[in-house]
Amino acid sequence: MEWIEFSRKGKPVNIIVVDAVAFGIRDYFAQLHDRKTKLETYRQAFGGRGVSEKDWKKYLKMFRENEDKIIPWMQLWLDKFTAVKKYSEKISKLNLKTKSNSKLKSLFRKYFDLYAPVFAFTYDYRALQEYYPEEITAFLKKRENNPKKLNSYLESIISLYKPIEMHKEKINLFEITLKKKKTADKEKIKKELRKHAERFGFLGVYMYDGNPLTAEDFEKKLNKTARKPFLKLEKELLTEKNRFSKNQKEVKKIERKLNLSSEEKQKIKNIRFALYVSTLCDEYYSYVAFKMRPFIYELSKRFSVSYNQLIEMRNSEILSLFDKPLTKEKLNEINERSEDHALILEKGKIRVLVGKELEKYSKSYKKELKKMQELSELKGETAFSGKVKGKVKLIKSIHDLPSFPSGAILVTGSTMPQFVPAMKKSLAIITDEGGMLSHAAIMSREFKKPCIIGTHIATRV
């Protein structure tokens, strides 16, 4: 079987998450889209994720034939994720110690029933970026021949028009910084920082990995920002608050200047809404996992299974804990998963490979990798243009991020919200995964960093 790999994050994502991805694709994709396009494959293996070539062709065909459904599908994704977000918040506020095993089992089952359908949409943006930016570029080119102006139009169109959590955190911290400059009440500022950390601490984690940002972490950022003059801070805060309305006006101006048709305007509306929803949902993945951590820790205490073991368990395996303890063999298998594994959906069945099974499965992939490493030229798509020269720093997972030095060129499989501090410090960004709607592309335009996306092999050559 030929596989299309369109997401690469180095270290495998925890089984507790990718098991839900496989369920979402298998059980909910058709139901929540056009009710007839059924996907039958999914794979997380060797640091990458994707579907079969056959399924990918079906995916793209469905989107091309249902252009009027793009915004409704994206809205449904956001609605379903918002429901999961609210439910995870509810669970995080419960006194879990007082709940019976039966109640905890019921809570987790409902959580999974809400969580899995979210993943029916998780690669919709990837299908769109396969052809949509190209279509928009084509009709803009018919009206504008100047390359600089054309790039400027594209940058405005394929940029966020509404704030996501990352921007809200920045604005909120700016406001706390201004308060600090106005008051000598240190305790008041510490209280504000604790609230800030409670709301935005999840930006330091990726799914169930990593450590949340603390009030002390935000205080360091605040103290650095507070060195600026008060009036300059006020101006920067106003700029940050107004940037999205400014972007909306810029795009309206482009549409009028180029006299775009209603169909062309709708394509722009589609891609901008998809861009916003997919970037926001990127943050929600980690937010929900962050809110579920107390629940996972409570299960860990009750069933004498470590947190790291629990997040490498399938959701059915977690539910089975309430009925019977894990066997020694199963526990050994779970421990192997944390080292490396492959989770594969084929022919309606989801299986996890480790050890000898994984080694056998990897033989064909190793041949493919060897061919890639023999390539002498690296090619990709420019997300933001520019020329820089510097040392390369390879980041395989979020655990490598603390070692990223200022002024290096960031090379990674793909980026996510937790990469933002490193992206700000970088000279440029190069990724395996790519497309104009990818996180790396969006953030490179945000921070004005030269960026090449979609190289496929940058981390492996």
Contacts of 288 (CB under 8 A, 6+ apart): 81, 84, 85, 88, 115
Would you say the C-alpha torsion 269, 271, 274, 279 has a positive or negative sign?
negative
pLDDT averaged per 10 residues in sequence order, the chain, 461 residues: 76 91 97 95 89 95 95 98 98 97 97 97 91 93 92 92 95 95 91 96 91 95 92 93 96 97 97 95 95 97 95 97 94 93 94 93 69 63 86 84 89 83 90 80 86 81 67
Q: What per-residue confidence (pLDDT) applies to 398?
A: 74
Of all helices (H) and strands (E), which one includes residue 325?
Answer: none
Q: What per-residue confidence (pLDDT) applies to 453?
A: 86
How far apart are the C-alpha atoms of 28 and 406, rounded to whole Å? 43
How far apart are the C-alpha atoms of 64 and 145, rounded to whole Å? 27
Helix, coil or strand: residue 352? strand
Which pair of structure tokens corresponds to residue 284? Answer: 């929600």
How far apart are the C-alpha atoms of 193 and 380, rounded to whole Å? 41
Residue 18 Cα to chain centre, angstroms: 13
Residue spans in the chain of domains classed CATH 3.50.30.10: 379-460
How far apart are the C-alpha atoms of 173 and 179, rounded to whole Å? 10
Q: What per-residue confidence (pLDDT) applies to 396?
A: 80
Of all helices (H) and strands (E), which one includes residue 398?
Answer: none
Full DSSP string of 176-208: HHHHHHH---HHHHHHHHHHHHHHHGGGG-BTT
The Cβ-side half-sphere exposure at 400, using a 13 Å CA radius, reads: 13
Q: Give the torsion through C-alpha atoms of 380, 69, 122, 87, to 10 deg.
A: 150
| DSSP label at residue 209 | B
Contacts of 371 (CB under 8 A, 6+ apart): none
Q: What per-residue confidence (pLDDT) applies to 454?
A: 81
Which pair of structure tokens corresponds to residue 369? Answer: 């990798």
Contacts of 234 (CB under 8 A, 6+ apart): 178
Task: Give the pLDDT confidence of 176-204 residue by residue, as tens digits.
Answer: 999 999 888 999 999 999 999 999 999 99
Closest CA to 384 of 425, 420, 438: 438
Written out in words, the top-level CATH class of the domain with range 379-460 is alpha beta
The Cβ-side half-sphere exposure at 419, using a 13 Å CA radius, reads: 26
How far apart are the C-alpha atoms of 346 and 50, rounded to whole Å? 12
Would you say the C-alpha torsion 424, 429, 433, 436 has a positive or negative sign?
positive
DSSP alpha helix (H) spans, 95-203: 101-115, 124-128, 132-141, 147-157, 165-182, 186-200
Which pair of structure tokens corresponds to residue 302? Answer: 């009750």
